């Protein structure tokens, strides 16, 4: 009973910004027009020919292979970015070295570059005659026009999301906490696993979700280095564009809707894991 009263008081308590009803109405209207309405139109288009037609278009063998490449590559790239991005954020926060500001600014480069420019640059670098592509091919490692090249492009575009998510948490993490743990006899591994990692884990999961979401829907940065061979190096966003160019709008909408459902399920699972971590650490 007391908890219900507290909740009611919290709901009726005046907020910092006046006009709660107006703000809520504006928020719901904006979300409805900009998010819900386009998604509703997508599903109406996807299921316009019935569920059988949707299922046939969304589960064709060529489409399934593109799903596996897009989602599998995005998950691997996001996991790679969690490790590399967290390490890079740690170096930028905890160490001072010449050129640190330049490195910090370069992290945001994938945000500023047009995606087509990124794809062309990666192809020029890793292609058969590229600066790194030629010596790698002499070692028997082909990067461009393979799933490996797609993964590298996904890592490149997703890295800033992890760094910029973890970096503020590291800024707020006092180094004295590590010193206290060391003074109590904790080893470096114990300090990292029991003190640092639980604090960083929610931010790392957020960065993982953002990097995954960016990579799974990426188009311009990947098509130039992918090779775009059906069943091998063809990503799902490219297949949607191909269907649109063939005026097969229902099939394009079906593939897009299937990707949306799968992406939402993955992000929901990540958010659930994040809430579980926060609950275990006593943050919520």
Query: Is 154's pLDDT higher than 90?
Result: yes
Question: pLDDT for 97-120, tens place per residue?
Answer: 898 899 988 998 888 888 889 999
DSSP 193: I
Tens of pLDDT, residues 122-140: 998 998 888 888 898 888 8
Count of positions (residues) in the chain: 284
236 SS3 class: helix
What's the predicted TM-score (pTM) here?
A: 0.84
Q: Looking at the domain assignment, is residue 128 inside a domain?
A: yes
Give the Cα separation of 74 and 71 in Å (integer).
5
CA distance 178 to 170: 12
d(CA 59, CA 197): 40
Domain-embedded: residue 115: yes
Q: What is the pLDDT of residue 278?
A: 75
In a domain, 190, yes or no: yes
E-strand ranges in 112-240 read: none
- The boundaries of the domain holding residue 183 are 47-280
Q: Is residue 14 part of a domain?
A: no
- How much is the CA Rg of the chain, to the nearest whole Å? 23
Does residue 40 fall inside a structural domain?
A: no
Q: Which of 36, 86, 27 is nearest to 211 (CA)?
A: 86
In a domain, residue 5? The reply is: no
Return the H-helix or E-strand segment holding 262. Answer: helix 249-280
Highest average pLDDT, of 24-33, 49-58, 268-277, comes from 49-58
Considering the domain boundaries, does residue 254 fall inside one?
Answer: yes
pLDDT at 8 over 70: no
Residues 6+ apart with CB under 8 A from 129: none
Count of structural domains, the chain: 1
| CATH number reported for the structural domain that contains residue 106 in this entry | 1.10.3720.10
**Average pLDDT score over the chain:** 85
24 burial (CB, 10 Å; 0-12 / 13-18 / 19+) is: exposed
* Position 267 confidence tier, pLDDT thresholds 50, 70, 90: confident
In a domain, 220, yes or no: yes
pLDDT bucket at 70, cuts 50 / 70 / 90:
very high
DSSP 266: H
């Amino acid at each position: 009973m007391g908890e219900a009263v507290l909740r009611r008081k919290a709901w009726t308590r005046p907020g910092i910004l006046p006009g709660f009803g107006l703000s809520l109405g504006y928020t719901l209207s904006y979300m409805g027009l900009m998010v819900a309405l386009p998604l509703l139109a997508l599903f109406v288009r996807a299921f316009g020919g019935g569920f059988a037609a949707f299922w046939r278009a969304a589960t064709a063998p060529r489409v399934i292979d593109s799903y596996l490449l897009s989602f599998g590559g995005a998950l691997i790239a996001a996991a790679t970015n969690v490790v590399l991005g967290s390490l890079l954020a740690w170096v930028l926060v905890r160490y001072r070295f010449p050129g640190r500001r330049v490195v910090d600014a370069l992290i945001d480069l994938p945000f500023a570059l047009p995606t087509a420019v990124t794809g062309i640059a990666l192809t020029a670098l890793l292609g058969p005659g590229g600066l790194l592509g030629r010596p790698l091919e002499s070692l028997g490692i082909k990067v461009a026009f393979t799933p490996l090249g797609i993964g590298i492009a996904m890592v490149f575009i997703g890295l800033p999301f992890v760094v910029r998510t973890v970096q503020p948490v590291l800024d707020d993490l006092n180094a004295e906490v590590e010193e206290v743990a060391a003074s109590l006899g904790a080893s470096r591994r114990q300090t990292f696993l029991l003190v640092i990692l639980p604090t960083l884990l929610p931010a790392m999961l957020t960065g993982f979700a953002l990097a995954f979401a960016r990579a799974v829907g990426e188009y311009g940065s990947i098509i130039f280095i992918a090779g775009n061979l059906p069943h091998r190096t063809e990503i799902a966003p490219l297949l949607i564009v191909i269907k649109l160019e063939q005026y097969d709008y229902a099939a394009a909408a079906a593939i897009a809707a299937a990707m949306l459902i799968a992406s939402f399920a993955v992000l929901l699972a990540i958010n659930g894991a994040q809430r579980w971590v926060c609950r275990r650490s006593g943050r919520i």
